[in-house]
Homo-oligomer: A and B are copies of this chain.
Amino acid sequence: MPTITGHPERHAPTLEAVAEAAGVSRATVSRVVNGSPSVRGEVVEVVQKAIAELGYVPNRAARSLASSRTHSIALLVPEDVSRFFGDPYFASFTGGLDRRLADTEYVLNLVVARDDPGRKAVRYVRGGNVDGAIVVSHHRGHDFLRQLEGSVPIVYGGRPDVALSSAPYFVDVDNESGGYLATRHLIESGRTRIASIAGPDDMSAALDRVAGFRRALQEAGLPDDAIVHANFTASGGAEAMRTLLARQPDLDAIFSASDLMATGALTALASRGISVPGDIAIVGYDDSPAATWGEVGLTTVRQPSELMGATAVDVLLQLLGGVADVPHENIVPTELVIRNSA
Contacts and interface: CB of A to CB of B under 8 A. Distances in A.
Contacts of A150: 4-5, 7, 9
Contact of A267 (B2, B75, B295, B322): B295
A262 B81 CA distance: 23
A293 B267 contact: yes
Contacts of A2: 153, 319, 322, 324
Contact of A109 (B91, B107, B113, B293): B107
Contacts of A4: 149-150, 153-154, 166
A7 B151 CA distance: 11
A120 interface: yes
Contacts of A85: 85, 88, 90-91, 94-95
A82 B98 CA distance: 11
A220 to B, nearest CB: 34
A109 B109 contact: yes
Interface in A33-85: 57-62, 64-65, 70, 72, 75, 80-82, 84-85
Tell me the number of copies of this protein: 2
Central interface residue in A60, A72, A109, A123, by most chain B CB within 10 Å = A60
Contacts of A99: 81
Contacts of A274: none
Central interface residue in A85, A99, A128, by most chain B CB within 10 Å = A85
Interface string A139-163: 0000000000110011000000000
Contact of A61 (B65, B95, B107, B110): B65
A127 B58 contact: yes
A324 to B, nearest CB: 8
Contact of A102 (B120, B267, B324): B120
A307 to B, nearest CB: 14
A34 to B, nearest CB: 16
A262 to B, nearest CB: 13
A58 B129 CA distance: 10
Given A12-B128, A57-B123, A127-B58, A109 B108 contact: yes
Contact of A126 (B57, B62, B94, B319): B57
A67 to B, nearest CB: 9
A107 B72 CA distance: 12
A276 interface: no
A12 B107 CA distance: 23
Contacts of A231: none
A336 interface: no
A86 B86 contact: no
A112 interface: yes
A160 B59 CA distance: 29
A254 to B, nearest CB: 18
A1 B267 contact: no
A290 to B, nearest CB: 9
Given A61-B64, A85-B85, 9 more contacts: A1-B153, A4-B154, A5-B166, A60-B128, A61-B70, A62-B65, A72-B109, A86-B88, A107-B109
13 contacts: A4-B153, A59-B65, A59-B127, A60-B129, A61-B61, A81-B92, A81-B95, A81-B98, A85-B91, A110-B110, A234-B293, A267-B295, A270-B295
